Amino acid sequence: MINFTNKTTIITGGSSGMGLETARCIVQAGGNVVITGRTLSTLEDARLSLVETSDGATERVMIHQNDTSNLESIANLLEETKQRFGNLDNLFVNAGIGIFKPLSELTVEDFGKLVAINFKGLFFTIQKAVAMINDGGAILMTSSWTAHRGLAGAHLYSATKAALHSLSRTLALELAPRRIRVNSISPGYIDTPIVQKIDMSKTAFDAAAAQVPLNRWGKSDKVGAPAAFLLSDAASYISGQDLIVDGGLVGAHNFKGAEV
């Protein structure tokens, strides 16, 4: 259903997790991808994995090491992409981190880091890339289920993600004259490296799954496929939307003791 032949997509935070699985869908559908991240070894492993799982993809995968919160590095990313593939068709601004702690423990440094990566970097990546995106292209941002429903300790993280819904709706209107669609995607509990970094206990991991009507954590590819769909022409009449991919978490009060 989706075809990315002769189309170029930048995926920030494309070296692991959901960004990498979105890249895999796009490469397998014939597209060029540029994936970014801060860690070179992870990027190199990701390139190898993409090339191994997609026929003839060697020339269609580019890696770019940068820190999305460093605004100068965004210009380098765009310049290198232009030299390699020309203009862009799609931008998936997905790089993000989580800092979860009680409100009283959140420091000014935590605030600066979280906002710089999850919102400032994303905002200016879009701003600087827009001129390079072909008319008819698409922008997608990674939000979170926590922008829809409260999660203790996720106050600032969720605020950075909720801001993306507003940004997406506004830009959907502002960029409509160029037929550039703008959407966000809100993953639920997805078992990716970001979760391992949080160092969640097995008890907490299982308790989270129990909140989900489908009774399990999602895998990265369960978000990669719908993200690729939203970036593709198959979604050409979808703009200004947020797609929740969460196994039913946000839509249900999952009281296990309830009789039906």
Ligand X SMILES: NC(=O)c1ccc[n+]([C@@H]2O[C@H](COP(=O)([O-])OP(=O)(O)OC[C@H]3O[C@@H](n4cnc5c(N)ncnc54)[C@H](OP(=O)(O)O)[C@@H]3O)[C@@H](O)[C@H]2O)c1
Which are the catalytic amino acids?
Answer: 157
Distance in angstroms (rounded) separating the CA atoms of residues 152 and 78: 37
Asked whether position 226 contacts ligand X by CB under 6 A, the answer is no
Among 8, 9, 15, 183, binds ligand X (CB under 6 A): 15
Q: Is 158 in the site for ligand X (CB under 6 A)?
A: no
Which CB, 187 or 247, lies closer to ligand X? 187
CB atoms within 10 A of CB 48: 11
Q: Does 194 bind ligand X (CB under 6 A)?
A: yes
Stretch (H or E) spanning 91: strand 88-93
Instruction: Check binding of 224 to ligand X (CB under 6 A).
Output: no
Q: Should residue 192 be labelled a site residue for ligand X when binding is judged by CB under 6 A?
A: yes
Assess contact for 143 and 96: CB atoms under 8 A: no
- Report the amino acid identity of residue 166: S
* 68 makes contact with ligand X (CB under 6 A): yes
Determine the size of the site formed for ligand X (CB under 6 A): 31
Among residues 7, 9, 10, 17, the one that binds ligand X under rule CB under 6 A: 17
Residue of 3, 6, 39, 53 interacting with ligand X (CB under 6 A): 39
Q: Which of 26, 117, 133, 245 binds ligand X (CB under 6 A)?
A: 117
Two tokens, residue 259 = 């009789």
Query: Are 33 and 62 contacting, i.e. CB atoms less than 8 angstroms apart?
Result: yes
Alpha carbon distance 7, 229 (integer Å): 14
* Cβ-based neighbour number of residue 107 at 10 Å: 10
Please report whether residue 45 would count as binding ligand X according to CB under 6 A: no
**Torsions phi, psi for 253 (to 5 deg):** -95, 105
> Which stretches of the chain bind ligand X, using CB under 6 A?
12-13, 15-19, 36-39, 42, 66-69, 94-98, 117, 142, 144, 187, 189-190, 192-195
